[in-house]
Amino acid sequence: MAAIGSFQESRSLFLHQFASSRKLRKTELSSFAVRQKDNEPLKEYLQKFNTAALKVPSATQEVKACAFSHGLLDGDFFKSLAKKFVSKFDALLVGAAKYINMEDAQAAKKESRGKKRKEVKEEAPSKKPRNEFREKKAPYQE
């Protein structure tokens, strides 16, 4: 092992060794890398985007709104933004909250329908035809 001859050499070796492990500062462009996955609810995408956006304190409202819209899948909320683009992220969040409530309501309705169908399937059908439960009388008898 060779001895280090000077402070400059020591400094250079240190920087060379640890420069790659240094955390790089996030830029506004990193917000555009966040994408909504297939079948990912809007609520989860919004949480994921907010987590990433917090790492970029220099991002403006306009950049956040544009990056969020860029990462959205083609769905109801994306279509509403395409019709009327919202340039401020805070205003976009208000609209997103409405669509999140709609998704939650649709999921609850779908789950409740699934439970009802499951209950109907679990009930064993009667082996006797329905007509056998009725008392049979001839029309002329009383």
CATH number of 28-120: 1.10.1200
Q: What is the pLDDT of residue 128?
A: 59
pLDDT of residue 120: 61
Three-class HEC string of the chain:
CCCCCCHHHHHHHHHHHHHHHCCCCCCHHHHCCCCCCCCCCHHHHHHHHHHHHHCCCCCCHHHHHHHHHHHCCCCHHHHHHHHCCCCCHHHHHHHHHHHHHHHHHHHHHHHHHHHHHHHHHHCCCCCCCHHHHCCCCCCCCC
Q: What is the pLDDT of residue 110?
A: 87
Q: Give me the pLDDT at residue 135, please.
A: 61
Q: Residue 10 has what pLDDT?
A: 80
The predicted structure's pLDDT at residue 65: 95
Its pTM stands at 0.64
Q: What is the pLDDT of residue 1?
A: 56
Q: Which residues of the chain have pLDDT under 70?
A: 1-2, 20, 24, 117-142
The pLDDT mean for the chain works out to 83
